[in-house]
Amino acid sequence: MNFNFDPESSRFQFVKHRYKYFLVSAVLIGLGLVIIAVLGLNLGVDFESGSTLEILIQGQPFTTEDVQAVFAELGLEPGDIRLIGNNNEIAEVRFIGTLDQEEINRVREAFAERFGEIDINESTVSPLVARELANQAVYGILLASLAVIIYVAIRFEYRFGIAAIIALFHDALFIVAVFALLRLEVDLTFIAAVLTIVGYSINDTIVIFDRLRENMKFAKLKRVEDLEQLVNRSIVENLPRTLNTSITVVFAALALYLLGGEGIRNFSFALLIGLLAGTYSSIFIAAQLWFEWKKRELKKKMFQPQNA
């Protein structure tokens, strides 16, 4: 396998089809916003007041009904029971409202009596704290975006910065929408995953822009076609790097997703989607947005009288 592409060949015409990508992304993001608005997010216990128990049962095999039955005997009504773990050896039980210590002790005793060897993790949370953290993450991303735009404006030009930030929000929104659609639980590690993708997305986009900047030095941009070729060429030249970096990072995220245990499963899933979105957006969105913008400037110049 080898990703060596000839930049001059006509096989890869990324810029030509840009409106299709814009349309696809616009539709996806639009759908995503609708999904988020209609379904809302499946907020984990981190965002909703309540208790979560993780019960590791090693004594004997069991089903959700068995777990349900034990709680029914105790007179407790769980909001949700899921079996997790590679062999479904953990029952994750969520309660709306907080369990007190006495109730947790009763749960512990009842399960030990029924299933033998068990182990329990418990967490309770006030939603206020998680909401604050989520707000801070959003606030932090906005500020970080501003700082990135300023840096890129100084080192490159402001158009690069803004296009990179649009791609970044594209990726972040995409992850949120997928989580809303699949009803996956959104908790604090999800915020960490989105932040990782923010870093990755910026990095990925800037590398392509760097190549664009370099190629621009030698390019004589007279017509829109020159610009189109320049952007296309830069993307194609960078393709091996973009693909290989994505593949290696996907290896890492996939290994964590498949083998890393349930504590980081949602986290690694968010990373996986984010990586794919990030790779897509740097090739198909960021560079193309910049092209659209630059094209306008070029046209303006072309129609200006030379001796003005």
Partner 1 sequence: MRWSMIVIFLAIIIGGFTFMAFSVDSVISNITLGLDLQGGFEILYKVVPVNEEQQVTQSLLHDTYTALYRRVDAMGVSEPDLRVEGEDRIRVRLAGVHDPEEARRFLSTEARLSFRNTEDEFLFGGEHLKEGSARAVFDEYNRPIVMLEFKDPDLIRQITSEYLHDIIVIWLDFDEETDSFREEMLKEDPKFLSAPEVKSVLSTEASITGFQSYEEAEELASLLNAGALPVQLEELTARSVSPTLGERALDLTVRAGMIGGALIALYMLLYYRLPGLVAALALFFYVYFILVVFNWMNAVLTLPGIAALVLGIGMAVDANIITNERIKEEIRSGKTMMSSFRAGSKRSLRTIMDANITTIIAAGVLFYFGDFAIQGFALMLIVSIVLSLVTAVLGSRLLLGLLVASRAFDNKPRWFGVKESEISEL
Query: Which residues, 123 to 182, sit near partner 1 by CB under 8 A?
Result: 123-126, 128-129, 132-133, 136-137, 139-141, 143-145, 147-148, 151-152, 155-156, 164
User: What SS3 state is found at 60?
Assistant: coil
User: What SS3 state is found at 49?
Assistant: coil
Query: Which residue type does 243 have?
Result: L
E strands of the chain, at which residues?
Answer: 42-43, 50-57, 80-84, 90-96, 118-125, 185-186
Pick between residue 241 and residue 295 the one whose CB is nearest to partner 1.
241
Provide the minimum distance between the beta carbon of 12 and partner 1 in the complex, in angstroms, as a whole number: 16
Pick between residue 36 and residue 188 the one whose CB is nearest to partner 1.
188
Report how far residue 120's alpha carbon sits from residue 128's, in angstroms, rounded to the nearest whole number.
Answer: 25
Provide the minimum distance between the beta carbon of 95 and partner 1 in the complex, in angstroms, as a whole number: 14
The partner residues of 52 in beta bridges, in order of sequence, read 94, 123
Pick between residue 30 and residue 140 the one whose CB is nearest to partner 1.
140
Check residue 244 for interaction with partner 1 (CB under 8 A).
yes
Report how far residue 49's alpha carbon sits from residue 46's, in angstroms, rounded to the nearest whole number.
Answer: 7
Pick between residue 61 and residue 199 the one whose CB is nearest to partner 1.
199
Query: Which residue type does 198 have?
Result: V
Classify residue 169 as left (phi > 0), alpha (psi -120 to 50) or beta.
Answer: alpha
- 52 and 95 Cβ atoms separated by less than 8 Å: yes
Provide the minimum distance between the beta carbon of 19 and partner 1 in the complex, in angstroms, as a whole number: 28
Pick between residue 7 and residue 224 the one whose CB is nearest to partner 1.
7
The DSSP H or E segment spanning 201 is: helix 188-218
The DSSP H or E segment spanning 65 is: helix 64-74
286 Cβ contact list (under 8 Å, min separation 6): 163, 164, 166, 167, 205, 208, 209
Tokens found for residue 63: 């089903």
The DSSP H or E segment spanning 146 is: helix 127-155
Provide the minimum distance between the beta carbon of 238 and partner 1 in the complex, in angstroms, as a whole number: 8
Per rule CB under 8 A, count of chain residues that contact partner 1 = 75
Provide the minimum distance between the beta carbon of 290 and partner 1 in the complex, in angstroms, as a whole number: 15
Provide the minimum distance between the beta carbon of 256 and partner 1 in the complex, in angstroms, as a whole number: 5
Of 264, 276, 292, 298, the one binding partner 1 by CB under 8 A: 264
Check residue 268 for interaction with partner 1 (CB under 8 A).
yes
Q: Which residues 50-89 are close enough to bind partner 1 by CB under 8 A?
A: 54, 56
Provide the minimum distance between the beta carbon of 273 and partner 1 in the complex, in angstroms, as a whole number: 14
Pick between residue 191 and residue 289 the one whose CB is nearest to partner 1.
191
Of 30, 61, 116, 240, the one binding partner 1 by CB under 8 A: 240
Q: Cα dist. 212→166, 215, 232, 271, 272 in Å?
A: 18, 5, 9, 27, 27
Provide the minimum distance between the beta carbon of 219 and partner 1 in the complex, in angstroms, as a whole number: 17
Check residue 9 for interaction with partner 1 (CB under 8 A).
no
Of 10, 101, 304, 306, the one binding partner 1 by CB under 8 A: 101
Query: Looking at 21-29, 32-40, 67-75, 116-124, which segment touches partner 1 (CB under 8 A)?
Result: 116-124
Report how far residue 283's alpha carbon sits from residue 246's, in angstroms, rounded to the nearest whole number.
Answer: 12
Q: Which residues 191-220 are close enough to bind partner 1 by CB under 8 A?
A: 191-192, 195-196, 198-200, 202-204, 206-207, 210-211, 214
Report how far residue 52's alpha carbon sits from residue 46's, in angstroms, rounded to the nearest whole number.
Answer: 9
